[in-house]
Amino acid sequence: MTTLALLLCSLALSAPTPSRARPRGYTYATPRMTRQFKGKTVLFVGDSMIVTGLDIWARNWVEKNGGTYRRHYYSSSTTRSWATTRALEYALQHYKPHFVFVVLGSNELYIPNPHLHAGYVRTILKKLGKRPYRWIGPPRWAPDTGIVKILASIVPANRFYPFNGRHIGRAKDGKHPSIEGSRTWAHDIFRWYAARLKKEGQP
């Protein structure tokens, strides 16, 4: 067998099967939200979970509905780093978003005293002010020490999306979602957000 044939065989064997790439029976239907997003700026702020795949699908979702997508992230950032610096103030002033999605908590899943970060979460919410926002909880890959519970206890229930525990594809580090995993995670978020808007009638 030639070297090229061996390489093609290896790639075929290593490629993910459809069942691993997408949950069985799952469809990727992007919710229509033109009325909410058309002509508006939607900002995603947070940690590296934004740019390991979520970014691709979020941008497509926002732009498909006539909005402008923006992101502002720092790898390994936490609620503490966003609460104790002017990073959020800068992003809000620079991008002037109409809606904000906060993606934070993944780098605090295993901290020993998550209750000590409750004040940071409250500070971030205070910085957001009256601007419409949603907080996207971390896509947990293992049981956490309590940060998700802290987030859920402070962020209003209609504004907090806790990861639903669905099995999703992961990157080589076993933590960040893969591109396909992020696609499933993102569409779960979109559907949840659309359902909340339908129920509440406001962003």
Tell me the CATH number at 76: 3.40.50.1110
Q: CA–CA separation, 89 vs 44, rounded Å?
A: 14
Domain count, the chain: 1
Cβ 128 vs Cβ 97: under 8 Å: no
Cβ 48 vs Cβ 73: under 8 Å: yes
pTM of the model: 0.85
- Residue-range definition of the domain harbouring residue 171: 31-200
- Flag whether 123 is in a domain: yes
pLDDT in tens, 69-96: 999 999 999 999 999 999 999 999 999 9
- Flag whether 140 is in a domain: yes
pLDDT in tens, 37-54: 999 999 999 999 999 899
- Flag whether 3 is in a domain: no
Looking up tokens 């991008």, which residue turns up?
A: 95
Looking up tokens 């949603």, which residue turns up?
A: 134
- Flag whether 144 is in a domain: yes
- Flag whether 66 is in a domain: yes
The bridge status of strand 133-136 relative to strand 41-46 is unpaired
- Flag whether 130 is in a domain: yes
